[in-house]
Structure 1
Amino acid sequence: MQYVIAAALFFLIYAGAWFVFSRFKRLKRRYQTLLENAGDAVVVINDKGKLIHASSSIFKVLGYTPEQVLKLDISAIAHPDDSASLSDVMAQVMANPGVPIKGHTGRMRHGDGSWRWYEAVVTNMLHDRDIRGIVDNFRDVTETVLAQEKTRSANRLYGFISQINQAIVQTNNEDELFSETCRIATDIGNFKMAWVGLLNKHRTKVSLAQGSGIPESFMEWFDGAGIWPHGPISQVLASGGPYVCNDINNFRHYGWRNFATANGILSFMVLPIRKNDEIIGTLNLYSGQRELFSAQECGLLEEVAGDISFAINAFQRERSRKRAEKQRQTSELRLKQAQSIAHVGSFEIDFSTGISTWSEELCRIYGFDTSDNSHPYDAWLEMVHPEDIQHVHKVIAEVKDSLAPSAIYHRIIRRDGSVRHIFSQGEYELDELGRAIGMHGVAHDITQIKESEGARSRYEQNLQLIMDLIPQGIFIKDKHGHYLFVNKSFASLYGVSAEEFLLEDIFKQLEVEGERNLFLEQDQQVIRTGVGITIPEQPYTLADGSIKYFYTVKVPYELPGNQERGMLGISLDITSQKQAELERAKMMADLVRRNKDLEQFSYVVSHNVRAPLVNIISLIALLDPKGVCEDEDVIAALTESTEKLDSVIRDLNFILNMNHELTEALERVDFASLIADIKISIANLIESSGVSITTDFSQAQHTYCYKSYLHSIFYNLILNSIKYRRTDKAAIIHISSRIDSDKLVLEFADNGMGINLEKNAEQLFGLYKRFHPEIEGKGMGLYMVNMQVQQLNGTISVESEVGVGTTFKIVFEMPEKTNS
């Protein structure tokens, strides 16, 4: 019985266990089925960072099978830009065992090769004996992230555009607008750098107008830089549209690409800025994000550049409007001033009211206050002098029927009883039906003219006397080319009197036919265009065949009476100056010929003479002094003399070659390297003389010039300082460079013997000039330095004090920048 009960109990226990186990397996399969078919993927990473488990759903999420994933290094598929944030998350995970760390979002390379965004929940389960790993549950959120990025990008762009539009409204000029645009681009648009560059006249360089986000150490890269032949700005100028680079690694200019990489620039865009449809500069936007400039972004940024261009044109129009307004105000002021000076006033009459409105000057002419400028027509008639009223009525009646312009001479009696002489001119204003609706005109106070008419004949006589006293020839011609007036000076140019000159036959005899036609064409041009001309050198052939040369100015001239335009001319006889110029040209040609002869002579001396001289030196060396002359000193003196003559000829040959045109190419010369080469070449001399050479090239390290010339200048000045050092103290030579007012300044300072400049300044750079006879030398060094500095278009000056030292200062023009 006991066995039966035990068997039954065992069966029940086994059956129960089997039921529980079966249910557990079903639950496990159900859980695994749910897990594997879920939208999330699960991986487990051990404490070594190796994947030890991957759910089957990982293929749907990441595009890899579980087997492929377990063979991967997780860092190999993680995006390199997310490594920092991933490290931060893992630090949190390791510091919080058992706590799920939510919300980490990063990029991983999908099995199809694309980068996709994933959101993960990571839990540290290394302490759990059943798991012993880090559980990473992640899902694909690419569409969500891209949608958020598009929203952020749109908000950023619309905020950027909104701020730019506000800046356009609030700024008053291009400089302020450019500054605000660059600031808004970095502050609101999240661009790393932004700058506006303006092109020079020849479109070969771009200058920095405004910028934001540019490191101070790189400012010179953007200012005055050359435009690369195939660079972004060149392509903008060629196409007229923007230039886009969405990945800096694809940009071909390595120097600029290195700068961009160092400053975190991954993409950039260059947009044209226009004024009056012409590209005057560019807006340059640099981003720290790759592939930023999508089609939508580019389209909106082009609108921004278009708005900036529109604003620039608006600024220009506003400046033009203000300029026109100022000119209008100035014109009105000048009109008032002109009316006041000329005593000419203006009026306007409205026939519907019968009221006449007067200008300030017309009020003054009639004796009214300038504010009392509206008067009825009848009130004006009452002021007309009684003796002239009938004449006035007659003229008004005549022009009223024909509506022709009126012109009336009459007198007025002002309120104070004074009489003024007036000349009035008026024109009718007509409506669309041809009816007179008003009149406008001017009134000229000619009282002083009337009073001076009695003295007019005396005035004309005096004017003729004055014109005859003027030494320049003055003449007036009509449109047919006839002389109407000449003063005595003009007539004397042709050896006749003014009366004779005005005769028609004299006029025809003075000029040969070809010259007369030319003169008439010039006269007609001045009369036709109303623009004067200047003829610096005009030949005249006289009746006797001789030629004179005149400096002539011809201007339009309104002839009195018939109001036709004529021509007023002034002539000056420059025949003697012309002859002097011909003589000077002849002398210059003669000097050039003589200079060439001297050069040829110097060449003969330096080449043809030296050859036999070298032979003489060689023959003297072969002679036995005892066999030729008992006095050996004679042979020694002859040898010394010929060698000195040979040295002089060599120096002469060197100077002649130095004066010839340079054929050497310009190259970059580093000052420090140049000094190093010279130190090596004269190392023994430096060591034996105990000279210390120090340098400071921190402000200017190099220049572009002829290297051989600069080497010779440095070499000779250093040797000069060594040769004339003081023996009672350690010799120091200090060489420095700097930039001063866009010029390169080189200074060579020593603490040597010094030079008495009061005595020797004018001979300092002379050939064979020596100021310390006790020291061996030829006096060639400073002469060569001066010649070579001049060849390099520089200047050299010296400051020196005897017993203290000498400083030579050389100034060169700065060479143009090379293209950036």
Structure 2
Amino acid sequence: MIKVPQTSSTSFIIKQLPTPTAFVDTNYNVIHASDKWMQLFKKHTTTHKKSSLFELFPNLSPKWKNVLENCFKGNPQPLGIHQAEDDKNNELWYEWSNSPWYDNNEEIIGAIIQITDITDSINSELELNKKDLLLKQQSEITKIGRWEYDVNNNILTWCNITKAIHEVPPHFTPNIENAIYYYKEGHSRNAISMALFEAQEKGKAWSNLKLQIVTANGKEKWVMAGGKPIYHNGELVGLIGTFQDIQDQVDADNKTLNNEKLLRTLIDNLPVNVYIKDTESRKILVNKAECDFLGVDNPEEILGKSDFDLYPAESAARSREEDLMVMNTLKPIISKETLNIKLDGKETSFLSSKIPLLNNKGIAYGIVGISLDITALKEKETELRNIINIASIQNKKLLNFAHIVSHNLRSHSANFSMLLDFLNDEEDEDEKKRIIKMLSDSSNNLLETLDNLNDVISINTNTNIEKKSINLYKKVLDVHQYLTGYLLNNKAEIKNTIPKTFKVKSVPSYLDSILNNFITNAVKYKDPKRNSKIVLSASKEDGYSVLTIADNGLGIDLEKHGKKLFGMYKTFHEHKDARGIGLYITKNQIDAMNGKIEVSSEVGKGTEFKIFFNDKN
């Protein structure tokens, strides 16, 4: 242990010194030490045979001996900094100083050593160095440089990163004038000049100024500039700031923007409706076709709205159910035919697809919807189907007509041939006259047949029929007057209950023929037990003007004859004037006008025909 005399007053004073202090003789032995020293170096000052300073502190630099030798000669020098550990093994740093130790005769008998704890300062310096290193690394990674401007001395300093951004050599010395000159002429140069002026005159800082510079190599580059004034005792002494190369970011942003514009242009010009919905089925993107379909000019009128805001509740609920199914199952709906009904009641047919939008965890955060308007195609399909149906019906009629023509003309031809053979072989004049009369009757029948066939051909080949609006009540009156003699002779009564202003769209000649046929048929096939009574009425039904003609005649067994009721030369009663052509021609006339006929009948009670005139042209 250090041998410190405890009897003298000097020793007592040394012990009370406020700083760790030791007195060493010229042999480097510790003679006196303050209590602060003893506490500080407790681990080193416990019982020990040796008391030499260098034996107590073996890590001291050997150069310190030379320093102490000079101190013994009256020429003290700094001992420097020494690292040590306290009794808890904590790392400590001390700055050692020395001065000559004189006796009463002013002779140097050793050295007085004092130490100052600078651990906090060293740690702060190390931390600062570490931060400087990290800042430098971060600057290199983020391309953020620093600059400082000494206002009083008019000195501008750039770090290496700032110089690299400007593409100047490391030895380049900037000044405030050429620094401003590097900014591109126009907005960028004006903006940085104004920022510097306001910083110096108004103490106003600036940040995130996105500007362009022209480097020393003539390259245009986007940078982010920031800076603020520095004051000392209320006086402006300088400016400091950052300088970041953001060209890569600007290029990436421009590329993203161009890609977005390209994608938007593509989406807006697609001939299909495109939209994106979030998890609540709110639209977050729509293209021009979707806007046009919903009747808006600005997408903002749709964005944020759900189907419940845009469609009737039933349609919206059905769409929401589909959205949830796609997002929950992650299975898309592809080309499903749907019927969209807007709030104004307009119906549109679509081929719709819904595809889930997935995040990086495979969870749906919305859907992409694509809809193709097929309304026109559906209408064309319906029109084509109608044409095919009409062509099929016409083909059947043509085939039937060909059979009829073939059969009837063959019958007439065979009859003529047979009668001519009889006439050729007959010698009796009276019999010849009878045969000639039969030939004349057959000729008349042939002419009637040809007329009937001509009527049928005329109806089925006339593609330019023109329908007109005709007062049905007045037309019935005209036909009634025309048939007055026929009706009186057959004791038939017509009751016209049609409203006086009721109109139908029909070909005038067809309407005359239809009324004549149905009225004369009602009289022709009357029940012999009672006088004929015919009732005419009219009404409007689903786009049709309906004429009803009811009689109290013989009636028709529809179960037996219903399928061939309107066939050519089909008769259902043994009547001498029955030809089976009237209903066939009438049915063809009504079909040609896109109408229809319904019939109900009961044998012995009468028949009711309902003729439907299409109100459309």
In our comparison, the structure showing a higher alpha carbon Rg is: 2
Which structure: greater helix fraction? 1
Greater RCO, CA 8 A, separation 6+: 2
- On whether the aligned pair clears a TM of 0.5, the verdict is no
Question: Shorter-normalised TM-score: what interval?
Answer: 0.3 to 0.5
User: What TM-score, normalized by structure 1, do the two folds share?
Assistant: 0.26
TM-score after normalising by structure 2: 0.34
